[in-house]
């Protein structure tokens, strides 16, 4: 009897814990998952490789894809609450999702309202950041101001406020892969700076050579 009671108790605990564990998967946002391949994201957004922007080609492939969700079908025919999503890829792997909400969909909502809404799906935040008055904090100059964070050992899910357009959004990333991507970007910028003068000289030489080819061609064909 004691064994049966223990089994029932474990079953009840698992029954109630399972939804909570599933709800706190910080690697997922809607039908996208960090770690997805670029080709999979293209399929799910109905876009093509031509829509992908290459940010850096070395020492790693850094790419971005911007997606504007379509209007939701139905008699109401309303737009999605999300205005756009920026997907960031490191060597073809999705490592960061940046979400910008439609202004009309969040009008009147406070940061607390947004935190409550997100917590209903991802659980309570691990960190809440008090609002900072930028007018009285001259040193606080960030493109995105953190509002609240949901974190585990692998992923970081953040509610942020854009300092330039004062709009709330999300920044979701894999801690490990995002760190590798940031190092690669820093190295790419360093390489671009070092090789900039050489590439500019090559560009000017090619421009001069092309102009000379056209000059010689036109010399033969020009008639006054």
pLDDT, position 42: 97
Average pLDDT, the chain: 82
* Distance from C-alpha of 36 to C-alpha of 44, rounded to nearest angstrom: 11
Region 27-55: what's the mean pLDDT? 96
Residues 4 and 131 sit within 8 Å (Cβ to Cβ)? no
* Per-residue model confidence (pLDDT) at position 135: 39
Burial of 36 (0-12, 13-18, 19+ CB in 10 A): buried
Res. 77: pLDDT tops 60: no
**Is there a contact between 56 and 184 (Cβ–Cβ < 8 Å)?**
yes
According to DSSP, residue 69 is labeled: P
Residue 194: pLDDT band (50, 70, 90) is confident
Of 162 and 65, more confident: 65
């Amino acid at each position: 009897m004691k064994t049966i009671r223990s089994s029932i108790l474990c079953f009840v605990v698992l029954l109630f814990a399972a939804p909570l564990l599933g709800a706190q998967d910080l690697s997922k946002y809607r039908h996208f998952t960090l770690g997805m391949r670029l080709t999979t994201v293209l399929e799910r957004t109905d876009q093509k490789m031509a829509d992908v922007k290459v940010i850096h080609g070395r020492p790693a492939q850094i790419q971005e894809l911007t997606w504007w969700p379509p209007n939701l079908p139905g008699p109401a025919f309303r737009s999605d609450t999300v205005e756009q999503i920026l997907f960031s890829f490191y060597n073809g792997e999705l490592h960061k999702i940046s979400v910008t909400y439609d202004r009309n969909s969040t009008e009147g909502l406070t940061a607390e309202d947004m935190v409550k809404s997100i917590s209903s799906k991802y659980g309570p935040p691990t960190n809440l950041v008090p609002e900072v008055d930028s007018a009285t904090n001259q040193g606080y100059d960030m493109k995105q101001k953190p509002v609240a964070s949901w974190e585990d050992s692998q992923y970081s899910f953040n509610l942020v406020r854009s300092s330039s357009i004062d709009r709330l959004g999300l920044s979701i990333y894999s801690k490990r892969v995002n760190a590798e991507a940031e190092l690669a970007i820093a190295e790419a910028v360093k390489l671009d700076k070092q090789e900039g003068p050489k590439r500019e000289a090559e560009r000017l030489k090619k421009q001069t050579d092309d102009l000379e080819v056209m000059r010689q061609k036109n010399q033969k064909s020009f008639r006054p």
